[in-house]
């Protein structure tokens, strides 16, 4: 069914209203009045039917929890726990009286994200841009100049090694066989663990011949288990999960160190090995994502998944199209690094590659080109504070959702910071005005302005 409305005030007849308890100048209260919540109701209403099933949770509650999660770097479980303890968070999500229990279970957020999808969740990012433009925190002229870069969003997997993956395959195959009452000739769990430990020790001691021998033993164990299960569970009697596991284990047996498109995780087979040339981290295991920020204010205006580890220059056209779709403003300039040489963009915007044509540029253009590197610390903050550094959501759909919501959370935190600074300036002005009024009314009370 359609999302249900928030509880009426009549249910809390003897409780104090938030208007009587909370500070009206708090940034979250101010921002809650600037967000267009009706727009979210209309955008996400199409995913819920009219009369079938139980009433869905309020859209404002779900959107508010997602904003708070990525703005304050919380998990699904911790954001629900903190929501109960924080009345300002409850007010932001549309509640008028103090709640002692959260109305949802943390798993509801996962189901809601999967139902809505990445395309519609991009509305959360667009809403932060619209709020910034509407309240003069971001000008439309600033939206015409953007910085573009790519980074790696790592997946929540352990560092992959052949011995670790092969032994994990043994454990998963034995567990799957026991769950389906398949009697195996031998489980190889004990001897497989011993071989995996030896392979790691031999690699550490640089005894690679012995290490390869242990890996051959592990491959033999996995192959025996795969063939034993295939004999006792013919294709007609296998379920989809078992067939998928057998296929991945066979792929793991066949792959070699020099192969491309290798399998790095049994539960996340889409993970890629990406090298970005970092001295402290040679390889990263996850998915490449493209990000775009405004050249001056460093607001996120686009965030998207680049599936399959493409060349950076081949992602520029899609990224700039996403920027124009999110902002509704035609781009004039895009500033990129040298990794975008040979890009695929053919639009009207001028693409400025770092290190090219700087001698002929004007003073303003040179200043804007120097601002290209401002996107690097912005990406670092998004990784450490908005959950972009490691994706805990499942599959490619989870990767696409996480990068969009991380960008929305970074913009949300920036709005809160600007409102907090404006609140401090306002309080300073009020104090100065009160002091001046006191001085004009009673000048003899101040020792420096005492009238003789």
Please report the pLDDT score of residue 108 as a whole number: 95
Give this prediction's pTM.
0.88
**What digits encode the pLDDT tens for the residues 38-53?**
999 999 988 888 777 7
Closest CA to 43 of 67, 66, 60, 65: 60
- Chain-centre distance of CA 97, in angstroms? 31
CATH class entry, domain 127-157+273-410: alpha beta
All structural domains of the chain with their residue ranges:
9-116, 127-157+273-410, 162-263, 415-448
Whether residue 451 has pLDDT greater than 50: no
Instruction: Find out whether 188 and 217 touch, Cβ atoms under 8 Å.
Output: no
Average pLDDT value over all residues in the chain:
90
pLDDT at 355: 83
Model confidence at 448: pLDDT above 80: no
Q: Residue 450: what pLDDT? A: 42
Per-residue pLDDT tens digits for 91-105: 999 998 899 998 899
431 pLDDT above the threshold of 60? no
Separation of alpha carbons 87 and 367, rounded Å: 44
Cα 447 from chain centroid (whole Å): 58
CA angle 220, 226, 232 (to 5 degrees): 135
CA–CA gap between residue 151 and residue 207 (Å, rounded)? 36
Q: Look up residue 56 and give its DSSP letter.
A: B
C-alpha span between 113 and 44 (Å, rounded): 11
Q: Of 130-139, 239-248, 429-438, which range is least confident?
A: 429-438
Average pLDDT value for residue range 338-344: 92
CA distances from 5 to 39, 57, 83, 98 (A): 15, 8, 19, 17
Backbone phi, psi, residue 286, to 5°: 175, -135
Q: Higher model confidence: residue 12 or residue 229?
A: 229
Q: Strand, coil or helix: what is 105? A: coil
> In this predicted structure, what is the pLDDT of residue 325?
95
Give the pLDDT of residue 52. Answer: 78
Percentage of the chain beyond pLDDT 90 is 76
Q: How confident is the model at residue 423 (pLDDT cuts 50, 70, 90)?
A: low
- Radius of gyration, alpha carbons of the chain: 28
Calculate mean pLDDT across residues 141-149: 96
> What value does the mean pLDDT take over residues 279-302?
94
User: What confidence tens digit (pLDDT) does each residue in 205-241 have?
Assistant: 999 999 999 999 999 999 999 999 999 999 988 999 9
Region 254-281 average pLDDT: 91
pLDDT (tens digit, 9 = 90+) per residue, 348-388? 999 999 988 777 788 888 899 999 999 999 999 999 999 99
Digit-coded pLDDT (tens) for 191-203: 999 999 999 999 9
């Amino acid at each position: 069914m359609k999302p249900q409305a928030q509880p009426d005030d009549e249910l809390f007849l003897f409780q104090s209203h938030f208007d009587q308890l909370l500070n009206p100048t708090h940034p979250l209260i101010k921002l809650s009045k600037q967000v267009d919540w009706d727009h979210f109701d209309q955008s996400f209403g199409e995913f819920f039917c009219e009369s079938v099933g139980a009433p869905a949770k309020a859209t404002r509650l779900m959107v508010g929890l997602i904003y708070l999660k990525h703005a304050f770097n919380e998990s699904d479980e911790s954001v629900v726990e903190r929501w109960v303890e924080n009345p300002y968070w409850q007010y932001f999500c549309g509640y008028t009286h103090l709640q002692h229990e959260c109305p949802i279970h943390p798993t509801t957020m996962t189901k809601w994200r999967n139902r809505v999808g990445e395309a519609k969740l991009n509305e959360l990012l667009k809403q932060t841009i619209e709020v910034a433009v509407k309240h003069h925190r971001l000008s439309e002229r600033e939206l015409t100049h953007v910085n573009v870069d790519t980074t790696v969003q790592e997946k929540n997997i352990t560092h992959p090694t052949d011995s670790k993956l092969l032994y994990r395959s043994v454990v998963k195959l034995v567990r799957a066989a026991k769950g389906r009452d398949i009697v195996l000739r031998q489980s190889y769990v004990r001897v497989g663990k011993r071989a995996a430990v030896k392979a790691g020790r031999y690699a550490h001691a640089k005894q690679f011949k012995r290490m390869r021998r242990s890996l051959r033993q592990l491959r033999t164990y996995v192959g025996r288990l795969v063939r034993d299960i295939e004999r006792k569970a013919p294709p007609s009697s296998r379920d989809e999960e078992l067939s998928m596991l057998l296929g991945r284990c066979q792929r793991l047996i066949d792959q070699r160190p020099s192969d491309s498109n290798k399998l790095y995780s049994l539960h996340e087979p889409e993970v890629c090995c990406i090298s970005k040339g970092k001295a402290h981290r040679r390889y990263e295991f996850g998915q490449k994502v493209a990000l775009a920020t405004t050249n001056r204010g460093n607001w996120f205006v686009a965030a998207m998944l680049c599936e399959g580890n493409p060349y950076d220059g081949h992602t520029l056209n899609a990224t700039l199209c996403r920027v124009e779709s999110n902002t509704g403003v035609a781009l004039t300039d895009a500033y990129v690094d040298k990794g975008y040489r040979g890009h695929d963009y053919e639009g009207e915007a001028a693409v400025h590659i770092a290190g090219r044509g700087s001698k002929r540029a004007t003073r303003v253009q040179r200043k804007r080109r120097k601002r290209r590197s401002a996107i690097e610390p912005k990406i670092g903050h998004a990784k450490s504070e908005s959950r972009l550094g490691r994706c805990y959501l499942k599959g490619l759909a989870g990767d696409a959702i996480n990068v969009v919501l991380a960008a929305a959370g970074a913009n949300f935190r920036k709005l809160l910071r600007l409102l907090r600074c404006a609140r401090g300036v306002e309080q300073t002005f009020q104090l100065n005005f009160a002091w001046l009024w006191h001085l004009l009314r009673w000048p003899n009370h101040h020792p420096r302005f005492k009238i003789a």
